[in-house]
Amino acid sequence: MMTDAVLYRQQEHIVTLTLNKPESRNLVTDAEILAGLNDAFDRVGSDGSVRCVILTGAGKTFSGGGNLKEMRDRSGSFAGAPAELRDRYRRGIQQTIAKLYHLEVPTIAAVNGPAYGAGFDVTCACDIRIAAQSAVFAENFVKVGIISGDGGSWLLPRAIGLSRAAEMTFTGDPIDAGTALSWGLVSRVVPDDDLLSEAAKVAERIAANPPRHLRMSKRLLRESQNVQFDTLLEMAAGLQSLCHQTRDHEEAVQAFFEKRPPKFTGD
């Protein structure tokens, strides 16, 4: 069931999800935020009309990550014996980030401010990251005596390479938006007030394309991180043979020759 902790807004083929607990810095270990994200990802996954998702935070922070007060008090998400904590990670933040990572549609993190710890790892699970000038990124788990328990050690090296991921992980130091751009962590940096409109423009350009082909393209990009080149070629050949038989492919070619914008239906 959707909650106000995560706002779900759909305009045509684009869904915008907003982490909506700015008073507590949109902590992604918050039970309501985790439940809201899980429900939102399930909803997106079952809705064939969605072609792109934008994920952002309310207020001045994308996400502060975990709840340090609960860590200090060993309460809430961080209560219990080691076995309980392990299971809570598996059923909680790990499950949520896995759902985000495995969404079939393209995802954009519109990072409106600090993204720390697990909040940073959430951005790394997205396909595209667009940063406001005020955005700050930190894989800062070591600073509070823990490790990335949600997959960041797998996601981050794939986003910026092993050496820079190691630097961020071992120092825990934050990087600003300009550094994130130069490292390839984000694809662009925009003024704070323009963040959502710029993210929407990218999403609109994505959503203008045939939905099944977007999903297949994303699948190939994901698999390319894990399989041999020859294996990927085999996958591409199989998916391409399906693409050639779709109505959207026929429409795209016909629109090209007729010099008009194509109208894609997902068929």
* pLDDT tens, residue by residue, 131-186: 999 999 999 999 999 999 999 999 999 999 999 999 999 999 999 999 999 999 99
**pTM of the entire structure?**
0.94
CA distance 130 to 110: 5
Reading the block at residue 39, the tokens are 């429900």
pLDDT of 67 reads: 87
CA distance 267 to 78: 47
Mean pLDDT of 219-242: 94
Please give the Cα distance from 109 to 57 (Å, whole number).
9
- Flag whether pLDDT at 3 surpasses 70: no
Residue 193, SS3?
helix
- The whole-number average pLDDT for the span 65-80 is 88
CATH class assigned to 6-207? alpha beta
Are 112 and 56 contacting, i.e. CB atoms less than 8 angstroms apart?
A: yes
pLDDT above 80 (res 58): yes
| Radius of gyration over every alpha carbon of the chain, rounded to an integer in angstroms | 19
Label residue 76 by pLDDT band (50, 70, 90). Answer: confident
User: What proportion of the chain, given as a percentage, has pLDDT over 70?
Assistant: 99
Q: What are the boundaries of each domain within the chain?
A: 6-207, 211-258
Average pLDDT over residues 194-202: 98
Q: What is the CATH number of domain 211-258?
A: 1.10.12
Domains 6-207 and 211-258 share a fold: no
Question: Where residue 15 falls among pLDDT bands split at 50, 70, 90?
Answer: very high
Reported as a pLDDT band with limits 50, 70 and 90, residue 266 is confident
> Whose CA is closest to 250, among 267, 228, 226?
267
pLDDT tops 50 at residue 85: yes
The predicted pLDDT at position 165 comes to 98
pLDDT in the model for residue 1: 45
CB atoms within 10 A of CB 132: 25
Whole-number mean pLDDT of the chain? 95
Residue 267: the pLDDT is: 81
